[in-house]
Amino acid sequence: MELVAIVAGLALVEYFAFVILCGQARGRYGVAAPATTGHPVFERYFRVQANTVEQMVLFLPGLWLFAYYVSAPGAAGLGLVFVLGRALYARGYVQDPARRGPGFGLTLLANGALVAGGLVGALVAWL
Amino acid sequence: MELVAIVAGLALVEYFAFVILCGQARGRYGVAAPATTGHPVFERYFRVQANTVEQMVLFLPGLWLFAYYVSAPGAAGLGLVFVLGRALYARGYVQDPARRGPGFGLTLLANGALVAGGLVGALVAWL
Amino acid sequence: MELVAIVAGLALVEYFAFVILCGQARGRYGVAAPATTGHPVFERYFRVQANTVEQMVLFLPGLWLFAYYVSAPGAAGLGLVFVLGRALYARGYVQDPARRGPGFGLTLLANGALVAGGLVGALVAWL
């Protein structure tokens, strides 16, 4: 299970970096709080952060369910796909929102496998 | 505890469906990223997803605390109320934002009971 | 570990209060769903809630990793810093968005320590 915790920690550090990048973009592009719109490049950084929150809500519980009821090494592997997919997503999105697709798809696939696998594993354990 | 994991998995699958519905609505109503406004029906799907994130942050840790310190079957039951309340909320909101009240109230009640019960249970265990 | 669960419960109750305050502000300042902008004071309450979601995604898993792999009392202490920092943040932000800095900094420091410490602790346990 240590490997699963390490992958969870890597995903948290990656997300922490997105939070810092979004805060820096707020200053650089002059978007004063509480606004979250006003400069197209800031909005990209903001959506990278917000979309990662939207996906982390699936990722961390799905990772845990999959590790516990299906396979810890499998969870760690799917978790690495998520972490790499998110890096690709962030890089593509900041360059051009139209390029966010492949990274988004990778993370959604990893999350779908973790959540569906975790639910099926818990059902099998219960039956 | 398997029942609690199954209910957590159901809530994650439900939220996953809201993510997919929101992504489809972005295409259907022509709202290009990074915008999250621009078409009133897209905004309903977007807020269903965003509000569910806001509630999942309470739900999953509250479910776990309640299951561990109070009662696992009680947590599973309150969790099912959450899952059904969210379905009602999403259906009402997409029809008309004014109809989101009952489903929202159900999920907030379930979350309040899970979080308050879990905190009290942890306090009792510590004393 | 009970102390860690109590601190997690306190953070959840605090966030629950922000959700209620944001809902009340929506009524008081006349911002009809699905809009999340339209009145500057509502937007402060909305961002207090949204930013707390953004930080909770780091806080709860970081708290757990730190408690498990480093120190449970240390995690509880850093968790209390987070809870107090968030109260300061919310109070400052609602008065004036320019005053959100100190509370935000405290919570980000606590989260950084929890996440970095938890990842290092998991790496050490794995080696």
Q: C-chain residues within 8 Å CB-CB of A21?
A: none
Please indicate if any CB of chain B lies within 8 Å of the CB of C33: yes
Block residue for tokens 């009662």:
B71
* Contact yes or no for A115 and B3 at CB 8 A: no
Q: B-chain residues within 8 Å CB-CB of A59?
A: none
Spatial contact of A88 and A103, defined as CB atoms under 8 Å apart? yes
Q: How far apart are CA C74 and CA C23, in angstroms?
A: 34
Report which DSSP code applies to A59.
Answer: H
Q: Does residue C111 sit in helix, strand or coil?
A: helix
Nearest to B57 among C10, C33, C56 (CB): C56
Residue A1 has pLDDT above 90, yes or no: no
User: Which parts of chain C register pLDDT below 50?
Assistant: none
* Smallest Cα distance from C61 to chain B, Å: 10
Please indicate if any CB of chain B lies within 8 Å of the CB of C16: yes
pLDDT tens per residue across span B31-80: 999 999 999 999 999 999 999 999 999 999 999 999 999 999 999 999 99
* Contact yes or no for C6 and B122 at CB 8 A: yes
**pLDDT given at position B43:** 97
pLDDT tens per residue across span C95-107: 999 999 999 999 9
pLDDT tens per residue across span A56-108: 999 999 999 999 999 999 999 999 999 999 999 999 999 999 999 999 999 99
Spell out a b/e string for A6-40, using b for 16 or more CB atoms within 10 Å of the CB, else e: bbbbbbbbbbbebbebbeebbeeeebebbbbeebe
* Contact yes or no for A112 and B16 at CB 8 A: yes
**pLDDT given at position B95:** 97
**pLDDT given at position C1:** 86
Spatial contact of A82 and A98, defined as CB atoms under 8 Å apart? no
* Contact yes or no for C111 and A6 at CB 8 A: no
Q: What is the mean pLDDT of residues B88-103?
A: 97
Nearest to B57 among C13, C36, C53 (CB): C53
Q: B-chain residues within 8 Å CB-CB of C3?
A: 126
* Contact yes or no for A115 and B12 at CB 8 A: yes
For residue B64, give the nearest of A80, C9, C84 by alpha carbon. C9
ipTM: 0.95
Tokens of A114: 């973790």
Q: B-chain residues within 8 Å CB-CB of C50?
A: 54
Please indicate if any CB of chain A lies within 8 Å of the CB of C111: yes
Q: C-chain residues within 8 Å CB-CB of A56?
A: 57
Tokens of B28: 């259907």
Confidence of residue B1 (pLDDT cuts 50, 70, 90): confident
For residue C54, give the nearest of B50, A108, B91 by alpha carbon. B50
